[in-house]
Amino acid sequence: MSQGIGILGFQGDVSEHIGIIKTIARKHKKNIPVTEIRKKDQLDNVSGLIIPGGESTTMYKLLNLYGIYDEVISRAMDGFPVMGTCAGLIVISKETNDSRVKGMNLIDTTIERNAYGRQIDSFIHEINISGIGEYKAVFIRAPVISDAGSSEILAVYNNKPVMVRKGNILGMTFHPELTNDLRVHEYFLDIVGGEG
């Protein structure tokens, strides 16, 4: 991984994702620079991008305002790895079911927003992730993947996909940055490094 990882820095759990990448770098004694992405040209300096949870309508507006939306699509089509968590998954999906947010169509998923309820309905549940194993997943106002299309389903909860992958694109409805478990981020770093 030559240039490190970008975290879309407009809102959401930005510092938590940065903290996990830094922890992984220390654990593996590797130099993995992390950049908060707020401008299009910053994407030149990273080898992969994490789009965190947050508020998908706000994120969508800011992605377009700063010219990052189309740039991410263009790069992802050329193999640039992207990981979307919760609202980030909504943004990269094919169908958001929200007229305010046009999905990037980077991964063939159809989304139902906030399908598990409000913030008070957030929960932690153990899931089994293909290639990772048992994992305590944190769901906060999580969207539901109602249709995974041609995506590879890596984990399910309640008979619904909660983690999907299509080549260089990885998406999940839960928040891996809110646990001390590094394995989902390590899995993404393997994709970035061409090992996944």
At CA 82, angle to CA 163 and CA 177, rounded to 5? 60
Domain count, the chain: 1
What CATH number should be reported for the domain holding residue 110?
3.40.50.880
Beta carbons within 10 angstroms of residue 95's beta carbon: 17
Q: Which range marks the domain in which residue 160 is found? A: 5-192
Mean pLDDT, range 98-109, rounded to an integer: 95
Q: Which of the four pLDDT bands, split at 50, 70 and 90, describes residue 186?
A: very high
What pLDDT does 112 receive? 85
pLDDT in tens, 50-83: 999 888 999 999 999 999 999 999 999 999 999 9
- Three-state SS at 143: coil
What is this structure's pTM?
A: 0.94
Beta bridge partners of 137: 125
Please identify every residue annotated as catalytic.
Answer: 86, 175, 177
What pLDDT does 114 receive? 55
